[in-house]
Structure 1
Amino acid sequence: MSTGFYWDERCFWHAGGNYALTFPLGGLVQPLAAGGLPESPETKRRLRNLMSVTGITEDLAMRSAEMCPRADLERVHPAQYLDKFKEMSDAGGGELGLRTPFAKGGYEIATLSAGLARQALLDVLSGDLDNAYALSRPPGHHCLPDWPNGFCLMANIAIAIEAAKARGLAGRVAVLDWDVHHGNGTEHIFYDRDDVLTISIHQEKNYPLDTGDVADKGRGAGEGFNMNIPLPPGVGHVGYLETMERIVLPALDRYKPDVIIVASGFDAGIYDPIAQMMCTVETFGAMTGQVKDAAERLCDGKLLMVHEGGYSEVYVPFCGHRVLEVLSGSSRTAPDPMAPTVAARQPNDRANAHISALIGEFAGEFGL
């Protein structure tokens, strides 16, 4: 098994300025020392540091990539959007959409983030690697072609998919998004198409507030190829694994993709500050095992995971490390330091029974 890990120090340097998620700064609102951007580099940098400490880097193909070529960016984003982004970036930064602040040089860093995902997918599809993980930052799953939002400035996964398709490397692609927020950008880009299956497991009405309904199943040729699974707050390990077993895995079996891509957000983790789910290190490891088995069964193991959200600087690194352990088959571990506590806080049997009934309703919606 050969697992690639794509990263670049420059992606940690993406900054949003003195920005607050909800409250405007100034007046009686004291400025925040860290700039106020929940999408902090520390969650990713601490994952990368943890990997060095455990030595798992020795079991991975550690790689970087070039900035994504303009031609591949334009397969998803209009030239006018890219030009405006570049102009503002050169002038010192700003904000193009909703909750997407960037500093000087932000365009180049976003282009590099997309380049990591693109190169990782090309290398998996060409057979150079069995599977891969791209530590992309800024993230991408909220970004529409001409409207960035939710910290996402370029649609990293969509850009990678279109680059691969343009080179004849993939026909049918499945995207599983387990970030706690709805993957509205990925959904929008492929909503009319049947060559990309999009599945989003998310906390209902967290972000965005007006997307991610189970009834939104695609349009035209894409009817039935978009699947939203909006779970209520408080779902934990049992509920997420049941969602995978009863909905996601059967959907993948039915679709039979050439490659599976996971939008790997860790904000469904129990300690995330801007979500209310109860997933653990073990949850993310188990889901990785499930999707890895599906990839081996359906598409010769071709699997790419692209980093998205996750805002607990302490907990995200352990979630990410467990994913890499399972993805690569490495025996180097980073045990969950909060394991006894998170186990005690999981939903009880009564809550899990309620969640199971809801998952059954969703499965019926999708004919599974």
Structure 2
Amino acid sequence: MKYAFNGLLFAQRQTGVMRYAREILLVIDQICKKNEFVLVVPEYADKVPELQNIKVERYGNIKGNLWEQISFPRYLKAHNLTGVSFNNTCPLCALDGIIVIHDIAYKLHPEFGTSLHGRLSRIYHRLIFSRVSKSKIKIVTVTQFSKYQLIDTYRIDPNRITVIGNAWQHIKQIKGNSNILLRNDLKDKGYYFTLGSMSIMKNTKWVYEVAKRNPDSLFVLAGAKSKGTGNSFEQLNNVIALGFVSDVEVKELLKHCRAFIYPSIYDGFGIPPLEALSQGAEVICSNAACLPEVYGNTVRYIDPYKYDINVEDKMKEAVCDANFALGKYSWRKSGEEFYKLLAENDSRNKE
């Protein structure tokens, strides 16, 4: 056993970054030898995946990022292991393993985090990115877009960066539930659906502005913080703000929507439209950042800063079969590529 996986994110709220780590680890767990790797998590972690071959070690009670900077490197040193971090950050005193940097929004878009927590997080991430760029640590990212942003911003040798993408097959494990449709009197293909967030990056403002201009179309906004987003959705008669919905309910909403709307301003990958396509949904998607790379001609694009569109006219645009996007990405493929990278990196370190 040469590598230890940084499991801090399994003690945090669920995000796309956690999804990536979980799915990659589940694949590696299927193909690696018993105890070939260890996943180190804080003792208080409550979202740890069930693994058969990767050893899970609970270690340290320090909270938050201090666990990553103190407890995790202490474990690495005590067991003579190399760290692998999935969560955009890593120990500053152990820059000899592998880090996954999904995007560099903290560097390029400071306007996305203006709260005290956002500013502190931006400082922390920018420190990590700067130190990583000057080290020899191997970097994994999720799109060619993110790779070249890293190269252009930090002048990193392209040979240090490997692209291993996200995927969508996890949604197949979720069972749908039509109660969400019945409770809200939603008809099949009768509404436009989006996942809301307080984040400026996710751009729910676009949905608000377009809903105002399309009063005859129904828009459904879901998400833990979709209510009270500052855009007064409750004042629009053609918007239903559901608040928090479960993964089961999201899957059902995707299956039956007229189209899934994803107006994001910036993304390193953007998993939700892939999930939507997998459920047979049409997608209206931002043309920003990596999204055209991921989705090609399988979605209908919008400018996330322009609101004067007729959504029904937009739906008349022709698109390619969803399988052109879905076929490019699988967790199995990504997990195998990550496992291969671990083996190659280990071999180079022995030379």
Global fold match (TM > 0.5) = no
Rg comparison, structure with higher value: 2
Higher relative CO (Cα under 8 Å, sequence separation at least 6) belongs to 1
- TM-score (structure 2 length as normaliser): 0.31
- TM-score (structure 1 length as normaliser): 0.29
